[in-house]
Amino acid sequence: MAQLRNRSPRQGLKWNLPQVPWSLLELYLARTMPLVLFFVINGLVLYNVVVHPPTVGYDAGSHLGYILTLAEGRLPTPYDTSEFFSPPLPYALPAAAYAGGLSWGLTAKLAQVLNSAASLGTVLVLMRLAQLIRPGKGRYTAAAAAVLALMPVYYKSFAFIRGEVWVTLFAALTAYEVVALSVKQQGRKQWVRGAIRLGLWLGLAVLARQWGFMLWAAVALYFGGLWWQRKRAQLRGVAAAGQIRGEPRQVLQAALISGVVALAIGSWFYLHLQGRYDSAAAFNRSLQPTFSPANNPTSFYSGVG
């Protein structure tokens, strides 16, 4: 008797399963993972914002007191809140809502919900920055978002009413504008507009928190290095390595424009501190007369609390 032919041979794990080329699967994941991570990160931030009490956090009462004082149409003093030295930008919209008649509970929750909006902007700008650095490389964009997604401090910080949330957003925008000025082929008008936008983000950063001044130092150092690279290339009569754009004079012009804009936007609050407290770096604790490790107890260096 003739043996019947086996028309469905077993092939291990591949038996009767549709075979998808790995290259197509990899392409699909590279295109979809950034979007998935965008919603995962911001979904977790939104969840924390909704369920976390606004009164729980580092110096939460002082930050809420800032909103109450600002709603009265004035900047706070040390008698109003220990955060009197902090810039007002993070508290401005909740204060305006409270002054307009919004209940205090909803006002405090609004301040947290705004953090969720800041997170949306931060993740979006981060992904655009990754695409600017590696155009068309979805895996690189997904990797950048994945690194952010793995940071518990991100979700924790964005649940609190604090200025650091907004410094994070403006730091991302600053990084994007700096890289765009460096690698994009732009005309003079686009270059000037980019420098103005950079100054805007730097100015808003220091109106969110004093730590924004660190961005000023970083950008100044970057422009200094960029100018030196272009100057050396010009003197040698060769093109600068990589995709760096702009002549040395353009680099100086961009630095000057962004610096002027940043000062115009962010300096007024620190002039206010200087005029009222005789220090643009006013703080809620007096400085030690001299720097010494002995100014802090041993537990400051060894404690893990």
Unique residue bearing structure tokens 């000057």: 256
pLDDT tens readout for residues 210-237: 999 999 999 999 998 888 887 777 776 6
Quote the pLDDT of residue 243.
43
Q: Which two tokens stand for residue 254?
A: 């961009």
Q: Which two tokens stand for residue 287?
A: 């400085």
Residue 185 is which amino acid? Q
Quote the pLDDT of residue 241.
45
Greatest Cα pair distance, the chain, in angstroms, is 107
Q: Examine the pLDDT at 248 and tell me if it is beyond 90.
A: no
20/154 Cα distance (integer angstroms): 37
pLDDT tens readout for residues 62-111: 999 999 999 999 999 999 989 989 999 999 999 999 999 999 999 999 99
Quote the pLDDT of residue 209.
94
**196: phi then psi, degrees, rounded to nearest 5:** -65, -45
264/268 Cα distance (integer angstroms): 8
**170: phi then psi, degrees, rounded to nearest 5:** -70, -30
Q: Is 135 exposed, middle or buried (0-12, 13-18, 19+ CB in 10 A)?
A: exposed
Q: What is the DSSP letter of 13?
A: G
pLDDT tens readout for residues 257-301: 999 999 999 999 999 999 988 888 777 677 667 777 877 888 888
The full length of the chain comes to: 305
